Amino acid sequence: MSRASLEAIRSATPAVLPSLLLCDFGDLKGEVARLADAGTKVLHLDVMDGHFVPNMTYAMPIVEGLRRHTDMPLDVHLMISDPLAYAKAMVDAGADMLTFHVEAVKDAAAVAQEISDLGVNVGIALNPETPLALLRESLPHVDMVLVMSVEAGFGGQKFNPVALEKLQVLRKEFPDLLLQIDGGIDTSTIGPAREAGCDLFVVGSAIFKKDDYKAAIAELDDAIAKAEGTAS
């Protein structure tokens, strides 16, 4: 299941991943259906513990609920202090990818390996001010790097272009590694992120604050396509 879901994610790239934090949880099934109709291939879930980051969000029950309503890969971003404490429960609930923060753990390589041993794909995330050097030892143990373009867990921040520099370095040094970006992604920032080598683009407001999800995602896809045309 783990390898199959990873291949499904890879085959979808470049892909817009709706971040369900802003969706209507009173109609989760309907929201998933609307996103699927709009062409979504992978769903992104932000899990916050109120400790590693100041906000709190959903946990395993929402992952379980989504798993009942869709076969799409579930990309779960753990913005929590102790990812290993909840990793197995998240996998059992139906997560296909678990991404933890390098800033939250002492030995990122060991944490990545333990999560991988649960039979799930592994991502590692870093905040804008965190140097790439901090995660290099863990890269042989992960399937994806999530480059944050805003500080994790804080709303209303501006897109930090340092994320583009990190993406460029990672893409050059690790051409086969999946790269994801999260924070402030809209039609003005998604193109530069693609040009920098990004594969997966986590989007919240630019989708969920629009009435027409299909049109919103189509605009984002168009911006990606234009960036690829410029790059070629």
Q: Which of 27, 46, 96, 222 is catalytic?
A: 46
232: its two tokens? 């070629």
| 44 annotated to bind ligand | yes
Secondary structure of residue 141 in the 3-state scheme: helix
Quick check: is 46 catalytic? Answer: yes
Q: Is the dihedral of CA 185, 180, 9, 123 positive or negative?
A: negative
Nearest to 42 by CA among 18, 62, 21: 18
Q: Is 27 among the catalytic positions?
A: no
153 is in an annotated binding site: yes
Q: Is 46 annotated as a binding residue?
A: yes
* 75 annotated as belonging to a binding site for a ligand: no
> Residues for the chain: how many in total?
232
102-121 in b/e burial notation, b at 16+ Cβ within 10 A? bbbbeebbebbebbbebebb
183 is in an annotated binding site: yes
Which is the catalytic residue, given 49, 96, 182, 199?
Answer: 182
Q: Is 204 annotated as a binding residue?
A: yes
Q: Which residues pair with 178 in a beta bridge?
A: 144
174 annotated as ligand-binding: no
Annotated binding site for a divalent metal cation: 44, 46, 77, 182
Annotated binding site for substrate: 19, 77, 153-156, 182-184, 204-205
Annotated binding site: 19, 44, 46, 77, 153-156, 182-184, 204-205
Active site amino acids: 46, 182
